[in-house]
Amino acid sequence: MRLSFACLVGNFAGWVSRISGRGRGETLRGRTILAIDPRALIKLSKGRELVLVSGTNGKTTTTAYLVRMLEAATGELVSTSKYGANMSAGIATALAQGPRNRLVVLECDELYLPSMAQDLQPKVIVLLNLSRDQLHRTGEVRKVANLWRDTFVTDDVTLVIDRDDPFLEFAAGSAGHVLRVSFGGRRHPDAATCPNCLKLLDWGSGDYLCSCGLGSQLAQVRGDQRLRGPARNAVLAIEAARLMGAIVPIELATELTENAPDRISNFEIGGHSIATRLAKNPESWREALAQVEAKCVILSVNARGIDGRDTSWLWDIDYSALIGKKVICTGDRRLDVAYRVKVQGVVEVATTETFEAAIAQAGSGPVEGIASYTAFQELAAAQLGIHARQGGRP
Amino acid sequence: MTLTIVRLYHDLLGTYGDQGNAEVLVHRAKAREIPVELVEVTPGMTVPTSGDIYLLGGGEDGPQTAALELLRADGGLNSAVTSGAALFTVCAGFQLIGSSLPGADGETISGLGIVDVHTVYTSAPRSVGELVCQPTRSHLPLLTGFENHQGLTELGPEMQPLGMVKRGIGNGFAGAEGVWHGNIIGTYMHGPALVRNPELADVLLASAVGDLVEFHDPYADALASERRKTLWPHS
Ligand SMILES: [Zn+2]
C-alpha cells in the first residue's frame, strides 16, 4: 500500500519536474519514492530477475546493449534506467517503471554497488573495468576494489568480469561464481602495484602475477585482442545475457562488437552537426582521442562537481593524435587544456568562452568535439531546450 | 652540456598528473635553446647519479611505499642531491624524501632523509582543494595548485617552507606549505605545480644552468594568472 502510494507521488513529482523544465525528472521521482517508502528498492525488485552493470567507463552504453539483447532474445520488455541515473533514486525510478517486467537491467554507480547488490539481489553483476576517476570522490582505485571485494562473498550471484583488469580480479577474489572474459591481456595504466598486497606487480606481455598469488586467471571466454573499450563491454554484455538464459541473435552480437557505438552525440549548434564524445577520465579521453578523424577538434573542459575539481589528470593523457589539427579549447578550464596540447606539440590552438564561439571559429570543414561531464550535459540540455521550443507548446 | 631531467617512477607516482612537471621543464628549456634530455626511470632501472633535475610525483599509498623502498635500495637519488642536483617533489614524493612518514598500514617508517620533515596521519579530514601560498622567496609571485592528501607534514627546525598558506591546508602545521632547502623543493601542489607556476619551473632550470633568457609563453602565463586571479582575487 505504502509502496504504490510512494510510486504514485513519485510519478507526480517527476512529471512536475519535467514540465517545469528542471531535467528529466528521473532523480526527483526516485527520491520521492524512497522518501515515502525507504524499503521501496527491496520491494520493487522482489521476484524479478536483475542484472547490475558497474565499472568506471561504459556503464550506460553497456546497460543499453544488454537491454537490447534481452529484449531481442526474449521478446519481453526490460525495465532499465535510460539516462544513466545510477544511484539509489535513479534506480528506484527505473524499477517503478514497468513494475511487472520480469527482467531488469540497471547501471550502478561504483560506490553504490555494495548496497544495491544487497537490496536488489541481482542474478548477474557485470564488472566492466576500474580505473582512475574523480579522485576526490571515489578515492583511490584500490579503495573501490576493496569495497567490492568485501561485498562479493556469496554464491547467489554470478560476476562477469574482464579478467585482464587486476582490480576486478582482486574484487572478485572471494566471490562464489565468476565468469572471466579475457581479451588477451593488456597492461593496466593504474596497476603498477598489486591491488592486494601493494608490492610491485610483475607484468609480462599483458598478463600479470604477484608473489602474493594474485595473477591473471584462466578465462572461460576469450575475446579478440584488438577490440576497443565499447566492444569489449559488448562482449561482457553478451555473456551476461547468456547467463540470464537469453540467446543473443548473432546479427545483434556482431553489430555491437564490430561496430560498438561510443558514447557519442551529434549536437546541432549554429547550423553545424558536431559529433561529440563524452570523456570524463583519463581512460575515456584516451578512447575518444584515438577515434578523432576531423581536422578540427573542440575540447571542452570544466572542473565542476562530478567532473572532479582537479584538472591535473589532463597531463596523464597523450594528445599526439591532435598534432597537425586545429584545436579549439572551451569550458571553464580551457586554459589548462590549451596549454597542455600546446606543450604536446599542437601548433594551432585557440580558446573561446563558449562552445558556440568555438564552432564559429572552426570554419566550414567537419568538426568533432570531446567534452568533460558537465560540459557534455550542458550541450545535451541545450539540445533538449532547443527541441522543446521547436516542438512548440500548445 | 645537455641538461638532464630525471623523471622517477612515473608509473608509480603519476596518479595526479605530476609527470607534466617534466614536460614543462623540457618545454621551457627547449624554448631557450638549452639542449635537454628527459630520462625516464622505471622500477628495475638504476637511478642515474649524473642528472641535473630529479622529479618525484604524487601517488597512492602502496606505490609510494614501493617507490620509497626502490629509491632506498638504489641510493642514487641521495647521492645525486648530495652532489648538488635539484630535486622537485610533490605530495607522496615530498613525503617520502622526508625523515619519517606513515607506511601503507599507517605505521611510522623512515623516509629517504633528504630533508628533515615528518609526515603524520591525524584525525583531520583529507585535505582536498585549491591551495594558494605566498612563496618565502620574495622574487616569486603567488603559487597555486590543487592539494589532495591525508598526511600532514611538520618541518624540522632547520627547514624553510616553500610558502605560507593563504588558502587551503598545505603542510597542516604553522601555516606552512612544502619545503625549500637548497635546491630541493617539496610541495603538496598538483596542477601540475610547474604548469600553473612557470616561475617555479624557471627557478629549477636556473639552479641547473644559471641565468635564463626571458621567455614569455602566452598560454602558460595566461593560465598562471587566471588561476591566481580566480583563487586569490585580493591580489
Ligand atoms: Zn600481491
Nearest chain A Cα distance for residue B196, angstroms: 9
pLDDT (tens digit, 9 = 90+) per residue, A302-347? 998 888 889 999 999 999 999 999 999 999 999 999 999 999 999 9
Which tens digit of pLDDT belongs to each residue from B76-112? Answer: 999 999 999 999 999 999 999 999 999 978 899 999 9
Mean of per-residue pLDDT scores for chain A: 88
- Cβ-based contacts of B20 with chain A (< 8 Å): 312, 315, 340, 343
pLDDT at A258 exceeding the cut of 90: no
In degrees, rounded to 5, the angle at the alpha carbon of residue A350 between the alpha carbons of residues A347 and A354 is 155
Query: Which residues in chain B touch residue A193, judged by CB atoms under 8 angstroms apart?
Result: 12, 60, 62-63, 66
In this predicted model, what pLDDT tens digit does every residue of A204-239 receive, in sequence order? 889 999 999 999 999 999 999 988 888 999 999 999
- Give the whole-angstrom CA distance, residue B21 versus residue B57: 9
Residue A196 Cα, gap to closest chain B Cα (Å): 10
pLDDT, tens digit, 9 for 90 and up, residues B195-208: 999 999 999 999 99
Q: How many domains does chain A have?
A: 3
Which cell is A364 given? 566550414
| pLDDT tens per residue across span B6-18 | 999 998 998 889 9
Residue pair B193/B182 in contact (Cβ under 8 Å)? The answer is no
Q: Are A229 and A249 members of one domain?
A: yes
A258 touches chain B (CB under 8 A): no
Please, how many CA atoms are within 13 Å of residue A320, restricted to the half-sphere of its CB?
1
Residue A391 pLDDT greater than 50, yes or no: no
Residues A6, A49 within the same domain: no
Split at pLDDT 50, 70, 90, the class of A19 is low
Smallest CA–CA separation between A166 and chain B, in Å? Answer: 15
The verdict on residue A127 lying in a domain is yes
pLDDT at A273: 86
pLDDT exceeds 70 at position A383: yes
**Cα B57 to Cα B93: distance, rounded to the nearest angstrom:** 5
d(CA A79, CA B191): 43
At residue B199, the pLDDT reads 96
pTM of the predicted structure, to 2 decimals = 0.85
DSSP H/E element including A252: helix A250-258
- If asked whether residues A374 and A287 sit together in one domain, one would say yes
Reported ipTM: 0.96
Contact A305, A374 (CB under 8 A): yes
Compute the distance from residue A217 Cα to the ligand 1 centre, in Å: 14
Residue B141: pLDDT band (50, 70, 90) is very high
pLDDT, mean of residues B126-150: 94
- Please indicate whether residue B27 is annotated as part of the active site: no
Q: Which of A201, A235, A258 is the endpoint of a domain? A: A258
Q: Cβ separation of A312 and B128 shorter than 8 Å? A: no
Domain that includes residue A11, residue range: 1-38
Q: Answer whether B18 sits within 8 Å of A312, measured CB to CB.
A: yes
User: Is A389 within the bounds of a domain?
Assistant: no
- Asked if A309 is an interface residue toward chain B (Cβ–Cβ < 8 A), one would say yes
Contacts of A301 (CB under 8 A, 6+ apart): A307, A311, A314, A329, A330, A331, A332, A333, A334, A336, A337, A371, A372, A375
Residue B230 CA to ligand 1 centre (angstroms): 44
Task: Say if A142 falls within a structural domain.
Answer: yes
Dig out the grid coordinates for B93 from the structure.
614524493
CB within 8 Å of B9: residues ≥ 6 apart: B41, B42, B43, B56, B63, B67, B70
**pLDDT of res. A307:** 85
Cβ-defined contact of B223 to A194 (cutoff 8 Å): no
Q: What is the mean pLDDT of residues A349-358?
A: 94
Q: Based on the fold, state whether residues A169 and A81 are members of the same structural domain.
A: yes
pLDDT (tens digit per residue) in A127-137: 999 998 866 55
Alpha-carbon span A226 to A119, nearest angstrom = 37
CA distances from A71 to A99, A103, A361 (A): 16, 9, 44
Q: Are residues A349 and A375 in the same domain?
A: yes
- Among residues A258, A273, A288, the one where a domain terminates is A258
Q: Is the pLDDT of residue A7 over 90?
A: no
**Over 60: is that where the pLDDT of A23 sits?**
no
Is the same domain home to A177 and A108? yes
Contact yes or no for B223 and A336 at CB 8 A: yes
Question: Closest Cα partner for B180 from B111, B96, B88?
Answer: B88
A202 Cβ under 8 Å from any chain B Cβ: no
Length of chain B: 235
User: Is residue A364 located within the same domain as residue A271?
Assistant: yes
Q: Give the 3-state secondary structure of residue B7.
A: strand
Q: List, in order, residues 6 or more apart from B149 with CB less than 8 Å away.
A: B58, B91, B92, B126, B127, B188
Q: CATH number for the B3-231 domain, one of 3.30.1540.10, 3.40.50.1820, 3.40.50.880, 3.90.700.10?
A: 3.40.50.880
Q: Inspect the interface and report whether the beta carbons of B24 and A343 lie closer than 8 Å.
A: yes
**How close does chain A come to B110, measured CA to CA in Å?**
18
How far is the C-alpha of A231 from the C-alpha of A111, rounded, in Å? 25
* A377 exposure class (CB count in 10 Å sphere: 0-12, 13-18, 19+): middle
In this complex, is the C-beta atom of A314 within 8 Å of any C-beta atom belonging to chain B?
yes
The CATH number for A338's domain is 3.90.190.20
User: What residues of A are in contact with residue B104 (Cβ under 8 Å)?
Assistant: 198
Query: What kind and span of H or E run contains A370?
Result: strand A367-371
Q: Do A189 and A165 lie in a common domain?
A: yes
What was the pLDDT predicted at A133? 83
Please report, as a single letter, which amino acid is at residue B165.
V
Of B27, B91, B133, B181, catalytic: B91
CB contact under 8 A, B17 and A335: no
Q: What is the pLDDT of residues A264-317, one digit of tens each?
A: 788 888 788 899 998 888 988 998 999 899 999 999 999 988 888 899 999 999
Q: What is the pLDDT of residue A390?
A: 31
A118, three cell numbers: 544487497
| B120 pLDDT more than 90 | yes
Give the pLDDT mean for A88-97: 89
The DSSP bridge partners found for residue A278 are: A371
A147 in Cβ contact with A111 (< 8 Å): yes
Domain ranges of chain B: 3-231
Is the pLDDT at B126 greater than 70? The verdict is: yes
Q: Compute, in angstroms, the gap from residue B63 CA to the centroid of ligand 1.
A: 12
Instruction: Give A267-301 as a DSSP string.
Output: EEETTEEEEEEE--SHHHHHHHHHH--SSEEEEE-
Residue indicated by cell numbers 615528518: B118
Q: Say if residue A140 is in the same domain as residue A285.
A: no
If you ran DSSP here, which 8-state letter would residue A215 be given?
B
Give the pLDDT mean for A92-106: 92
Of A141, A142, A316, the CB nearest to B17: A316
Q: Which of residues A179 and A283 earns the better pLDDT score?
A: A179
Q: Cβ contacts (< 8 Å) between B125 and chain A: which residues?
A: none
Size of interface A-B (CB pairs under 8 A): 85
Please indicate, yes or no, whether residues A230 and A348 belong to a single structural domain of this protein. Answer: no
Residues A34 and A47 in one domain: no
Q: What is the DSSP string of B79-145?
A: HHHHTT-EEEEETHHHHHTSSEEE-TTS-EEE---SS-EEEE--SSPPEEEEEEEEESSTTS--EEE
Distance CA B180, CA B135 (A): 10
Closest CB to A312 among B11, B16, B27: B16
User: Is residue B91 flagged as an active site residue?
Assistant: yes
Same-domain status, A17 and A54: no
Q: In A, which residues are within 8 Å of B131 by CB distance?
A: none
Q: Write out the three cell numbers for A385.
A: 531546450
**CA A180 to CA A172: how far, in whole Å?**
10
Distance A214 CA to ligand 1 centre (A): 6
User: What whole-number distance in Å separates Cα of residue B65 and Cα of residue A200?
Assistant: 10
Query: Could you tell me if residue A394 is inside a domain?
Result: no
User: What pLDDT, on a 0 to 100 scale, did the predictor assign at position A119?
Assistant: 94
**What's the count of helices (H) and strands (E) in chain A, helices before strands?**
15, 15
Omega cis (within 30) before B192: yes
Give the whole-angstrom CA distance, residue A316 versus residue A337.
12
Is the Cβ–Cβ distance between A168 and A146 less than 8 Å?
A: no
Backbone φ/ψ region at B133: left (φ over 0), alpha (ψ -120 to 50), beta: beta
Which of the residues B27, B118, B181, B190 is marked catalytic?
Answer: B190
